[in-house]
Amino acid sequence: MKIFTRSLGIFAIILTQHLGHGQVLFTSVPQDTIVAGTPLQWILERNDTADIQIMCMGPMGAEILEASEAGNRRVFSYQGTLTQCAGVLYWSVIGSKQEGQIVVTPGNMTSKIEIRYGPERIEAGSGEFMEVLATALDSMDNPMREGTEMIFTTQNSGNTTREQRLMEDMMARNNVYAPSVAGPMIVTGSRNQIGTREIELMITPALPAPFRISAHLIHDYADGHQLLTLESSRILDSFGNAIEDGTLVQFIISTQSDGTLIASGPTHDGKAQVALTHPEHQEAWTIQARAGNTASSNNIKLTFRAAIEDIPLHLDRSTQLLDIGPLLGPEGQWIPDGMQCYFVLRQDEKIIKDGVRSTIDGRAQVNLNLFDLRAGRYQLELRCGGMEKYLSIEIVEDE
């Protein structure tokens, strides 16, 4: 026979059950719903000596409870990890069909807030968004109840917005859409004066828009020595943001001989710059730049004049030393050190020796003695500064 009574908000269940040779009387069991961390207690009275055990099972595992003596009553008490985890806790008397369940709910006070997000980077003005997830936890790390209010604060380019979201499926969700202004974005979550750590999201510039380039050079002579600088304007996206630092810009140079040269440089504050040496011979260049494989610049043209007008040659037949120079620039000055002079020595159209010599103080020298030339006629071809010169040389046997 079962008799149900209620007293002071505590359910008392009087249960008569045969266990061994006696009867067990439960006068108190835990409530059906408790707040996480609430201790549990079962109280029974009996007139026999049968041993009673209670098994509790929950999300964190299972435990078997032993009774403690309190006069003519036995008390089963529990306060541990099983009651700290929100969820359903099941209990039963071992060896009988008596059982029950207890719903463990989260605490009422927020202890901390965990926050997660992704992706970390999105493109300005793209319509993409970052999802920010926040979970408010009680003092025992249980997610707060469904419908718990959360505040998300977003800061970007001096603007601050605050949005309220409700927890659903253990977390509050906030979608942060990409603004048109690139730069870092700070997002935090809070509830009742409890806040999260700051997370920094990055709004990256959109694809580059068309831009312009320019060339800076001291003179237009093809001396193979002087540096010229190619520079882009500040490259922006369609929203006026400077493209990301480190974006590679390619300067593509088409020569008059249908050749192609490519020089690349990374951007800093939206600008890219490369330095090139002048060509070594008369030349015309057409230059265009590309950024990020999507945007291109205007075309510019550069024309280089020959740096020298003549190549003086002198052969000392006694020492077989060939003097090249002095090589003079358009203002009568020595050409810069390091200009390359290429030579090819042939005999009957067969190449005997070729090489290169660099100028110093406007001069270079080729020592024919080093080539162990036999007696006979040779043809020397010399190219320097875009000019060519030919010299016929005769080597005779020593008498």
Distance CA 341, CA 325 (A): 10
Using one digit for the tens of pLDDT, what is the confidence trace for 261-306?
999 999 999 999 999 999 888 889 999 999 988 899 999 999 998 8
User: Locate tokens 């400077």: which residue?
Assistant: 242
Residue ranges of domains in the chain, CATH in brackets: 2-105 (2.60.40.10), 112-204 (2.60.40.1930), 213-306 (2.60.40.10), 313-395 (2.60.40.3080)
Q: Which of 3-17, 73-87, 354-368 has the lowest mean pLDDT?
A: 3-17
- Has residue 70 got a pLDDT over 90? no
Distance CA 177, CA 332 (A): 66
Distance CA 170, CA 177 (A): 23
Contacts from 143-152 at CB under 8 Å and sequence distance 24+?
143/86, 143/106, 143/167, 143/170, 143/171, 144/106, 144/110, 145/105, 145/106, 148/110, 148/172, 148/191, 149/191, 150/113, 150/189, 150/190, 150/191, 151/189, 151/190, 151/191, 152/187, 152/188, 152/189
Asked if omega into 119 is within 30° of 0 (cis), the reply is yes
| Confidence at residue 4, expressed as pLDDT on a 0 to 100 scale | 29
Distance CA 272, CA 194 (A): 46
- Has residue 231 got a pLDDT over 50? yes
Using one digit for the tens of pLDDT, what is the confidence trace for 137-181?
999 999 999 999 999 999 988 889 999 999 999 999 999 999 999
Order of all β-strands in the sheet with 172-177? 112-118, 129-137, 172-177
Using one digit for the tens of pLDDT, what is the confidence trace for 377-398?
889 899 887 788 888 888 877 6
Instruction: Work out the burial of residue 142: count CB atoms within 10 Å of its CB; fewer than 13 is exposed, 13-18 middle, 19 or more buried.
Output: buried
Asked if omega into 326 is within 30° of 0 (cis), the reply is yes
**Nearest Cα to 140, choosing from 82, 180, 57?**
82
H or E element, residue 84 = helix 81-84
Report field, pTM of the whole predicted structure over 0.85: no
User: In whole angstroms, how far apart are CA 269 and each of 100, 155, 243, 295?
Assistant: 69, 23, 8, 17
| Confidence at residue 307, expressed as pLDDT on a 0 to 100 scale | 82
- Has residue 53 got a pLDDT over 70? yes
As a whole number, the mean pLDDT across the chain is 86
| Confidence at residue 387, expressed as pLDDT on a 0 to 100 scale | 82
| Confidence at residue 398, expressed as pLDDT on a 0 to 100 scale | 61
Task: Say if strands 33-35 and 99-105 run parallel, antiparallel, or are unpaired.
Answer: parallel
| Confidence at residue 69, expressed as pLDDT on a 0 to 100 scale | 82
- Has residue 217 got a pLDDT over 80? yes
